[in-house]
Chains A and B, each alone.
Chain A
């Protein structure tokens, strides 16, 4: 399935080589392409290079050299040959394709009075493969529920540790419920189409039967829209920033539970994060879940309650 979503992105030259090399797409984490540099396939934390013989090797000197045309072709294909329809995404530096895979872009920014208008001379791409892992959050179920129902949960980790993967599974769990806990309606504000991986409005990932997705909408507007239009019991958002804090506070006042993720290293890092002081001081979140980079995404290092008391901790990380 992943192969069918990823391979057609490439032009004939690279597509042929990839088809010959046939990498294991299930373990593929990302593909990095930079102009005049070898194409890198990140697999299980290991870098491999695609050769002109259609093989994968460990020596970067044997890797095929990516050209400006290769990059241009990939961006055009990812946009469905319709750059105008993806102006917003390109100006934010990413594109999301069918399957929820995200293509990060780097190039020269064209600035106008409103900020970044677009990117030109795109010189590097990072194709991040989405791997939904159904059930990866089951182990932590007892920590994210209280007697009254779901808790306000904040998942914190550096990039690439599986925050979105875990968030996705928590959404599914909250939405479906189980034999002991009834399911809740969940509203997902998926600004970057990464949580649900919506393609033409249909989620590519399983988010549960009571989940509504607002796709491609900035969180700051989307959270309020969701609250007004769909009245969810749980509101889920990915990678919150300082600008989203007022919207989160509004959601909290509406009696809605918030499930969110945030970039951060550890508890201290979060507590000292500028702009989040009000959330820390008011002890808004009832559970803080920290992740680390590991063999599989979503490896939890510690779970804390609203008073930052340890509920669970990975002994190996102490």
Chain B
């Protein structure tokens, strides 16, 4: 009997934790997108105010943003400085793939990064700032959607976790 009660409690707690973790993932995604927006705004400033080259801008901005963007920009700057590949888009694409594996990203975010891949470094300063402007607008849209999802789905996940845990407990007992 004791074993049943301990097992049921364990199941209940696990199911609730899973629900809360899933809800936290949504929160994490919002944070991630907000940091992506911050990164883009900083890059815009570096390009417009300092007229920094891309490796220089990436390095400077890496010191002002949180992970995972800090490492992303730092490694990107290093790889561009050492000119490992002949083209910028090749390096950006490889590094973006690594970034997208991290927590907080979804498949649709690939589009946001791909947009910069083909436009950064291309033509004049106006082109750079307008590209980043457009990217910021798209990230803002993504943030709005993610927040909506967080509000709706977050509560659902939490409730489902608790309910599912309780249901399992009832079934076992």
Contact = CB atoms under 8 A, between A and B. Distances in A.
A154 B88 CA distance: 44
A87 interface: yes
Interface of B: 47, 51-56, 80-83, 86-88, 120-125, 127-128
Contacts of A86: 53
Contact of A11 (B53, B86, B121): B86
Contact of B83 (A8, A82, A83): A8
Contacts of A9: 83
Contacts of A87: 124-125
Interface residues of A, number: 17
Contact of A80 (B47, B54, B87, B124): B54
Looking at B53, B83, B123, the one whose CB has the most chain A CB atoms below 10 A away is: B83
Contacts of B120: 81
A25 to B, nearest CB: 17
Contacts of B128: 84
Interface string A64-95: 00000000010011011111111100000000
Looking at B53, B81, B88, the one whose CB has the most chain A CB atoms below 10 A away is: B53
Q: Which 4 residue pairs of A and B lie closest in terms of their CB atoms, listed nearest first?
A: A80-B53, A82-B53, A81-B88, A8-B83
A84 B47 contact: yes
A79 B86 contact: no
A86 B53 CA distance: 8
Contact of B53 (A8, A73, A85): A85
Given A85-B54, A200-B56, 11 more contacts: A73-B86, A77-B83, A79-B53, A80-B56, A82-B53, A82-B121, A84-B123, A84-B124, A84-B125, A85-B51, A85-B53
